[in-house]
Structure 1
């Protein structure tokens, strides 16, 4: 296998995965601005890092190569020209109002000589308290609020699943739901364009961050070598799925169909993978609330554009038919008990990372769901997640597969 991106399923044995170890961006979370930064609570960084290291070690112990977003981004800045280009692009998207403040921040960032330190600083954000007082100000600099940051932190970065998604040998470089998170995709742009591991591979891009409609990786699932599933959700527009499907077919990635799942537009059903993940050839973990009234649209390549048909069968039958299996087993979060399901789904009980068929990584706290997975014959690798879960994401959210083994035909 020569391609640095190779993902034709959700369950093929995981060989290479990209993570981001939580950093100082979490220490720039403050209560007054949690909603702006898409958090409900403030994780304790030191404990979150221990939990994340535990996650990475589980993967390494199972022969998975773990690479880090911060390392790849740093290694992509292979010249001074690229460093300056990256910093300028980053600053242009950082919502800086005053030109003198922007010049000051540019000087600060370019004074950081170590590439990894520079990348980590762009992720952490910049407090106004870190900057010297401007000697002269224009109006935009003077009319500053009490907001404490010159540049917002990016605390969601440890959910590496969202800024881009791998499918086949290609990448969907996403346009994110919020301005704060859209800056995260800059790292993907530089990694896939300039990193020695990727730059000569001619990786097909099936979505671009400059698109006007939003899509996030938590809504993008590779069900098989033939089928990609995408959620129409709080974070992903239906129009984006049409663009993605057209590009998948035009760029000949090998997929024959895109299934668009209509799910509820709210935070508890943020992404498709928070309510639905594939754990084996014929098994899925699901949140029971998505079973009722679910609409699935089948998108295929037609003679004059896309053919789109609503599939109105049960979830089990739709999945079985499209995967070519006799029947599928739906393993319900919380064991189907609505109180337990609501609690454990909030703590990402349905958000499993499959590292091989029937073998998954889960949070330890979702005891009822974990027992149901085991009863269904699924092997569990259990990790602590009391701090990581405060960002509302589980093991799948925190991982971006770069290479999976192909499933037997």
Structure 2
């Protein structure tokens, strides 16, 4: 096995390696009464969602991208019995299961599976009846919740430069998702000796999620202060990055509305070329941005508040004239509809070459007019999870621009 490094210094450099999660049985464990608890609005049809996801992976592979799967890497990371024991204890503890008897039953249950099937089962969730407890119709059926948000691999950790932020997720439902990343980077034979720095840790008290973390250039990061990310977390992480990662000079904290429609920064804008971004019209007014830089001599952060439109702020910090391409052409109805299906959530696989959902055809036609190569994928079921191609992918390696 060769040693793998993390290398992400832009949003648009040619994508070489990406991490995905193929939707699994966790999707089948969604029911209407527990949708809110599990952060879903609808129930995707797994068979079609998988077909669409396999097609997404194929489009990536056909364009020279190596596709790795979260579930496979996690299984390869916990093959050692001691590590498996540690992993299971942490997963069960994170579910807040305190009864010693149930803890032991669950551990034995998981150990009865081959490792890959065990990982799939942890992701899918465990029902009471799976471990011999009678299920009453009116009671909550799960001992361990399903993890249906896992196919959005963007959020639990983020690759920044040559390191990762192992994220502290906002909601209980998603907190466990970061355990897989923790064990992959700590124990997987291809990652454990790579000296990958961790810019932020999942045990930290403030929250940050990957959808809010954008690497705009070798020198500039943009991070959303959103419904899911605390400003304090960004400040902590920025300090660490400035102290250890030579290339980044500025971290821009974008203050965005704290609502589900603007869940993460990448649901309102994504970078698609050196000087072009897709943008949700709802973020076009005056923005409050906090620019963090670092004084090498005094070893301290410099915090500066800025205000202005997105175009002005991005143009200043990236030293070039920036063009914003509006989702749905700025038409309220079209933008609202296509935004609901992540019209601004594009995944650049190279400068001016992006993957989008085919259903956002108005935005896609506009991108085409700006000479952006658009690779469309079907998403009737995938889009029910309210995340686009960027949400569903975690780049591990991009070529430098």
What is the TM-score when the length of structure 1 is the normalising length?
0.95
Cα contact 1:175–1:212 (8 A) shared by 2 = yes
Question: Which ranges in structure 1 are unaligned for 5 or more consecutive residues?
Answer: 135-141
Tell me the SS of whatever aligns to 1:296: strand
Change (3 A) 1:354 1:69: same
Q: Distance in 1 between matches of 2:136 and 2:384?
A: 34
Correspondence for 2:80: 79
1:54 aligns with 2:59: no
Deviation at 1:318, TM superposition (A): 1.3
Q: Deviations over 1:136-194 (max 9, x none)?
A: xxxxxx99971010100000000000000001000000000111101000000000001
Correspondence for 1:191: 184
Partner of residue 395 from structure 1, selected from 389, 392, 395: 389
Residue from 331, 347, 350 that aligns with 2:344: 350
Mapped contact 1:206–1:251 kept (Cα < 8 A): no
Pick from 314, 319, 343: which aligns with 2:309? 314
Is the aligned partner of 1:178 residue 2:145? Answer: no
CA contact (8 A) 1:3 1:169 kept: no
Confirm or deny: 8 A CA contact 2:3 2:191 kept in the other structure. Answer: no
Corresponding residue for residue 212 of structure 1: 205
Shift of 1:210: 0.3
8 Å CA contact retained: 1:278, 1:354: yes
Unaligned runs of 5+ in 2: none
From 270, 274, 299, the equivalent of 1:277 is: 270
CA deviation digits over 1:120-150, x for unaligned, max 9? 111001011212148xxxxxxx999710101
Distance 1:143 1:342, change over 3 A: closer
Other-structure match for 2:125: 125
| Matches of 2:48 and 2:277, distance apart in 1 | 30
Cα displacement (A) at 1:253? 4.5
The 2-side partners of 1:78 and 1:2 are apart by 18
Is 1:254 the counterpart of 2:247 in the alignment? yes
2:79 and 2:115 in contact (8 A); partners too? no
Matches within 5 A, 1:211-250: 211-250=204-243
Distance 1:133 1:269, change over 3 A: closer
Instruction: Provide the residue aligned with 2:146 in structure 1.
Output: 153
Backbone CA RMSD of aligned residues: 1.7
Match of 1:27 in 2: 28
Say whether residues 1:44 and 2:45 are aligned partners.
yes
- The answer to which of 248-257 and 160-169 deviates more is 248-257
Instruction: Please report how far the alpha carbon of residue 96 of structure 1 lies from its aligned counterpart in structure 2 after TM superposition.
Output: 2.1
Query: 1:305 maps to what in 2?
Result: 300
Quote the Cα distance in structure 2 between the aligned partners of 1:246 and 1:262.
Answer: 19
Distance in 2 (CA, whole Å) between partners of 1:215 and 1:240 is 6
For residue 46 of structure 1, report the CA deviation from its aligned partner.
0.3
